[in-house]
Amino acid sequence: MSTVNRQVCLKSRPVGMVKESDFEFGEKALPEVPEGYVLVRTEMVSIDPAMRGWLNDVKSYVPPVQIGEVMRALGVGTVVQSKVDGIKEGDRVSSILGWQNYALVPAKMAEVVPEGVSNEAALSVLGMTGRTAYFGLLDIGEPKEGETVVVSGAAGAVGSMVGQIAKIKGCRAVGIAGGADKCSWLVDELGFDAAIDYKNENLRKRLKETCPDGVDVYFDNVGGEILDTVLTRINVGARIPFCGAIANYNATEPVPGPYNYASILVNRAKVQGFIVFDYVKRYGEAMRDMGQWVSEGKLKFKVDVVDGLENAPKALNMLFDGSNTGKLIVKVA
């Protein structure tokens, strides 16, 4: 075992897309492990759109990453030293590990990955992204059999789960994604009823075609013009789980809300924001259902793996230029 911890720390707050020069690569000695902590060797870290928000110096649901701090990231790794009852060396855990080779994790933040669950699954379908899709769609979206569920960022880690869960619940699932390949994957591999390539097709026209009965649930990952267009097609009583606004995360100017905001009133619709961490007491429910659906072959997932911690900043931009499909992961160890 190495005694050196390679770390990627925030050097300056990015303006627009992140640059490698916004981060600093450094090394630190491994820390002592206090009682109640485990030392984890990072194997993979999750790359999520929300991470771009953590880099801005604004009040949010978590404090921003401070200049000089290790970049915050979910990850999975192997316990190399444990001072926690019930977690032993060699166990795999998922937690907030950060962009570093070793992380010191307090007991209550360490979630042991069960035998038989791969690191990739623990970071995607059976991890935070899967739970985000599960609670956002089912708890906020409340889809009913026969309804139409539209999801944006549909070929992403969360969106691809949302559409499949919608199908499992007997809904019509329509995905909005950028590019013909992603759209084919959604329909041919994941069983979406339709997919709209917003980069090459007329979204308004295609929404009419693919949602002839209107939109009952719009799972919003992107905000921006796509949200505005979907708002013209929602039904009375529509539910809009507000999961993210990827279109705006790199904005350098104030971004207006949707021009069709009044559609929420006219259609007695509901827009509700949510953060997966609020559902921590119900994670078990998601794990049980999602695990079962995976084992039954009803829920498929794809990971897009980038090799090497040094490529993490570049990987983060992939979420915003649309170059990943499925769950984006950086392989560290």
Cα distance between residue 304 and residue 46, in whole Å: 10
Cα distance between residue 109 and residue 9, in whole Å: 21
Given the rule CB under 8 A, which of 24-32, 34-42, 236-244, 283-291 is the region that contacts its own copies?
Answer: 236-244
Given the rule CB under 8 A, which of 16-24, 34-42, 189-197, 272-280 is the region that contacts its own copies?
Answer: 272-280
271 binds its own copies (CB under 8 A): yes
Shortest Cβ 243–its own copies spacing (Å): 8
Provide the terminal-to-terminal Cα distance of the chain, rounded to the nearest Å.
Answer: 12
Question: Which DSSP letter does residue 121 get?
Answer: H
Q: Which sign does the torsion angle of CA 137, 321, 155, 313 carry?
A: negative
CB 138 within 8 A of CB 69: no
The string of DSSP codes covering 203-234 is HHHHHHHH-TT-EEEEEBSS-HHHHHHHTTSE
Shortest Cβ 142–its own copies spacing (Å): 13
Single out the residue of 261, 292, 308, 333 in contact with its own copies (rule: CB under 8 A). Answer: 261
Give the per-residue contact string, 192-231, with its own copies (x = CB under 8 A; - = no): -------------------------------x--------
Residues of span 40-69 touching its own copies by CB under 8 A: 59-61
> Can you read off the two tokens belonging to residue 253?
């100017």
Query: Between residues 14 and 77, which has the closer beta carbon with respect to its own copies?
Result: 14
Single out the residue of 274, 304, 310, 314 in contact with its own copies (rule: CB under 8 A). Answer: 274
Single out the residue of 10, 47, 243, 290 in contact with its own copies (rule: CB under 8 A). Answer: 243
* Total of chain residues touching its own copies, rule CB under 8 A: 32
Single out the residue of 258, 291, 313, 326 in contact with its own copies (rule: CB under 8 A). Answer: 258
Query: Between residues 262 and 333, which has the closer beta carbon with respect to its own copies?
Result: 262
Shortest Cβ 257–its own copies spacing (Å): 3
Cα distance between residue 91 and residue 111, in whole Å: 10
Residues of span 139-168 touching its own copies by CB under 8 A: none
> Can you read off the two tokens belonging to residue 71?
């970049």
Cα distance between residue 38 and residue 35, in whole Å: 8
- Beta strands 111-112 and 102-106 are unpaired
Output phi, psi for 265, to 5 deg.
-70, -55
Query: Between residues 23 and 54, which has the closer beta carbon with respect to its own copies?
Result: 54
Shortest Cβ 266–its own copies spacing (Å): 5
17 binds its own copies (CB under 8 A): no
For residues 29-46, one letter each, b for 16 or more C-beta atoms within 10 angstroms of the residue's C-beta and e for the rest, the string is ebeebeeebbbbbbbbbb
16 binds its own copies (CB under 8 A): no
Which residues lie near its own copies (CB under 8 A)? 59-61, 223, 236, 242-245, 248, 254-262, 264-275, 278
